[in-house]
């Protein structure tokens, strides 16, 4: 290998190293605008000179914003999931209670048809052969009360 080739290869390696290393250096000296709201939201500890900082710090702020958003989303999803599952549990318990109360063997399922039938039977509908209150009293007491009523009116 000639001396010239060694120099060219060395310069290429050195240039490549400078390109990679200088990218970070360029980011450190390039100014970038960041808002105070973004810094407050991310709670990042970034050196800033009022609305400006370096491009390197702005990229760090961007990562911090993404991380903070991820944490907030996970927290909100966890809260939502917790409240959703608790609500589902309460709905399930209420549906079970409703099923037990209103089933044909439950208290309300037995009470309403019985109550409805009793009211209809006592007030509205009579079976053939049922006696009225007056007919029942006459049958129990006999004609004795009727004779007393007739003698009092005479």
Both structure tokens of 84? 């959703």
Per-residue pLDDT of 103-136, as tens digits, reads: 878 787 777 777 777 777 777 676 777 777 788 8
What is the Cα–Cα distance from 144 to 153, expressed in whole angstroms?
15
CA distances from 130 to 104, 136, 146 (A): 29, 9, 21
Sign of the torsion angle spanned by Cα atoms 141, 130, 121, 99: positive
Above 50 in pLDDT, residue 154? no
What is the Cα–Cα distance from 53 to 71, expressed in whole angstroms?
25
Mean pLDDT of the chain: 81
Q: Would you place residue 96 in the very low, low, confident or very high pLDDT band (cuts 50, 70, 90)?
A: very high
How many other CB atoms are found less than 10 A from the CB of residue 42? 20
What is the Cα–Cα distance from 57 to 77, expressed in whole angstroms?
30
> What is the Rg, in whole angstroms, of the alpha carbon atoms belonging to the chain?
47
**pTM confidence score:** 0.50
Over residues 129-146, mean pLDDT: 75
pLDDT score of 13: 83
Per-residue pLDDT of 19-56, as tens digits, reads: 777 767 777 778 899 888 888 888 888 877 778 888 88
What is the Cα–Cα distance from 48 to 54, expressed in whole angstroms?
8
pLDDT score of 148: 54
Percent helix / strand / coil, the chain, rounded to 5: 75, 5, 20
* Bridge partners, residue 54, by sequence: 31
């Amino acid at each position: 290998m000639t001396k010239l080739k060694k120099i060219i290869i060395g310069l290429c390696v050195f240039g490549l190293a400078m390109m990679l290393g200088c990218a970070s250096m360029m980011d450190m000296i390039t100014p970038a605008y960041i808002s105070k709201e973004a810094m407050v939201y991310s709670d990042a500890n970034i050196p800033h000179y009022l609305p400006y900082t370096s491009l390197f710090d702005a990229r760090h702020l961007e990562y911090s914003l993404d991380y903070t958003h991820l944490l907030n989303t996970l927290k909100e999803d966890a809260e939502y999931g917790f409240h959703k599952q608790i609500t589902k549990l309460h709905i399930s318990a209420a549906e079970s209670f409703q099923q037990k109360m209103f089933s044909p063997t439950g208290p309300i399922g037995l009470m309403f048809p019985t109550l409805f039938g009793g009211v209809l039977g006592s007030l509205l509908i009579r079976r053939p052969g049922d006696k009225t209150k007056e007919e029942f009293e006459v049958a129990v007491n006999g004609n004795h009360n009727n004779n007393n009523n007739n003698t009092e009116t005479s």
